[in-house]
Amino acid sequence: MCVVAVSGELDLASSATLDQQLTRMLDAAAALVVVDLRGLEFMDSTGLSTLVKAHQRAEQAGKRFALIRGSQQVQRLLSLTGVEERMVLADSPEELLTGG
C-alpha cells in the first residue's frame, strides 16, 4: 500500500505536484494507492479532477485506489459531484487493510 497525505489546499497551484506523485505511485509495485485527505482544508475542481484521473489510471492498471475522508468541505465536494459513490472511501488507511 502506498499512501500520500495531502494538506492545505488542493487546487490549480498544487494539483500538478499531486498528479506527479500519484503517477509515480501507480507505476510502483503497490496494489493499493491511497490519498489521505484528512489534512486538506480546501479542494477545487482541479484537485477533484486530479483524483478522478488517478482513480481511472489505477483501474486501467488493475490497482485499487482509495481516499481517506477529509474535511466537511472536501466531503461535500465529493458528495455533490458523485465521486463519493464511485470511489472507495475510508476513515483511515488501516481500515482499508482490515476491511473494516
Segment 22-75, tens digit of pLDDT: 999 999 878 999 999 999 999 999 999 999 999 999 999 999 999 999 999 999
Dihedrals φ, ψ of 46, to 5°?
Answer: -65, -45
- The rounded distance, in Å, linking the Cα atoms of 100 and 81 is 25
Report whether pLDDT(100) > 60.
no
pLDDT at 99: 61
3-state secondary structure of 38: strand
Long-range contacts of 71-75 (CB under 8 A, 24+ apart): 71/37, 71/38, 71/40, 71/41, 73/41, 73/42, 73/43, 74/37, 74/40, 74/42, 74/43
Instruction: Dump pLDDT digits (tens) for 4-19.
Output: 999 999 999 999 999 9
